[in-house]
Structure 1
Amino acid sequence: MKGDITNMKKNKIIIVSIALLGFISLGSSLWYMSADKKVSLSTIDAKQVSFNTVDEMITFSQLVVTGKPIESENFVTFDERGFTVDAYTITQFKINKVLENRTTHDYKAGDIIKVAEPSYVYDNGIMPGKTKFSINNYRNMDKNHSYMLLLVPDLKYDDLYVISGVNEGKHNIDIPGNDGEKVGVPQEAKNYKFKEELMKKFNLKSF
C-alpha cells in the first residue's frame, strides 16, 4: 500500500513537471513570436553625392518625375561568405508627370518604374526581431502621398533607378515646405530649400 502511494506521488510529480515544462515552452514560444515581429531602427551615416544647386542636381539626374509609390519590397542579397552585396527597398513608382527625361526610355504618365530607396530590413537570425537600416536617416515614400523624384539609372540593374543625392532628390509635393520627412538628414535646411526651388522651377503646387 505504501509503495502504491509513493508511486502515485512520483507519477503526480512527473505529470506536474511535464505540464510546467509545456507551459514554460509555450510561454517562451509566444514571447519569441511576439519579439520576432518587432522592428528596431538603425541609421547608417554614409558618404553620398551632394549638390550645391538644384540646377547641378537636375543636370546630374537623367529622369525627373512626379508620381506615387504603389508597392514596395525588401531587397537584400549576400555573397558566399554571408556579407551583404545589395541592400535597399525596391519601390514600384507610378509616374504622374515626366518633368525631365534623358534616358533611352520614352516614359509617359501612367508608366511604372522601379526605384531603389536607401533603406532595408535585416532579419536578426536566431535573435528575435528585425532591424531596419536607413541610409542618412532616409524615410521611405508614403503610399498616401505624391513625390517628385530626381533619378539616375542603377549601374547594375537596367530596370532600376537610384535617387540622386539620397534625400536631396526625393520630395513630398503634397505637403508644402517642411513635410517632416527630412528630420535629422544631412543638411536638413538645404533639402527643404531645394524642395522649394524645384517646386518653383517645375511649376508644381502642393495640394
Structure 2
Amino acid sequence: MKRNKIITASVALSGFISLVLSLWYMSADKKVSLSIIHAKQVSFNTVDEIINFSQLVVTGKPLESENFVTFDERGFTVDAYTITQFKINKVLENKTTYDYKAGDIIKVAEPSYIYDNGIMPGKTKFSINNYRNMDKNHSYLLLLVPDFKYDDLYVISGVNEGKHNIDIPGNDGEKVGVPHGEKNYKFKEELMKKFNIY
C-alpha cells in the first residue's frame, strides 16, 4: 500500500514538474532578444545625393509585415529581412518603370529579421545598424531603390537615412544608436522641407 502511494506521488510529482517545465519553455520561447549587426552601409553626404540615388520617393503607411529568411543547402543564411507591405499616400519622385499612384501597395525590405533559436527557447531579432521597423500607427517618408534580386521588392536607401517618421516632427526617437544619427535628423528636416511635408 505504501509502495503504491509512493509510486502515485512520484508520478504526480513527475507530471507536475513536466507541466512546470512545459509552461516555462512556452513562456521562454516567446521572448525575443535583440542583436544589433554593425555593418558597413551606403551613406550619403547630402539630401540631393540620396534623392539622386533613389529610384522611388514616397510617403505612406506600413500595413502587414512578414519575416523573410532563406538558407542555402549548407544551412547558411542567404536572404534575411522583414518584408513590409507599404501603402503609398503620395509619390514624390519616381524613376522606376512602374506608374505608382496613391493607394498602391509596394513591398519594402526592412533590414531586420527574427531567427528562431531552435531547441533553445526564444528568438533573436537581428537589426542592421540598430534599424527599427516601421510602426503601423505612423506615416513615413521612404527613399527606395529596387532590390537587385527580386523585382517586386524595394530596399531603403542608406538603411536609416532613407526612412523617416513624418508624424513626429524633429527627433522621433527612431534613430537612437544608429550610425550618423544627427545627420539622419538633419536629412529628415531637409527632406520634409523640400517635399512640403508638414
Q: For the superposition of Structure 1 and Structure 2, which TM-score range results when normalised by the shorter chain?
A: over 0.9
Structure 2: gaps of 5 or more residues: none
Please tell me whether Structure 1 or Structure 2 has the larger radius of gyration of its CA atoms.
Answer: 1
Structure 2 match to 1:5: none
Alignment of 1:1-207 (within 5 A): 8-205=1-198
CA shift for structure 1 position 81: 0.9
Q: CA RMSD in A?
A: 0.5
Report runs of 4+ in structure 1 exceeding 6 Å deviation.
none
The aligned amino acid for 2:29 is D
The aligned amino acid for 1:191 is N
CA shift for structure 1 position 11: 1.2
Q: Distance in 2 between matches of 1:25 and 1:71?
A: 37
Aligned residues: 198
The aligned amino acid for 2:92 is L
What TM-score do the two structures reach when normalised by structure 2?
0.99
Q: Distance in 1 between matches of 2:12 and 2:72?
A: 45
The aligned amino acid for 1:28 is L
Percent identity over paired residues? 89
Structure 1: gaps of 5 or more residues: 1-7
Q: Any idea what SS the aligned residue of 1:115 has? A: strand
Q: Any idea what SS the aligned residue of 1:34 has? A: helix
CA deviation profile, 1:136-155 (whole Å, cap 9, x unmatched): 00000011110000000000
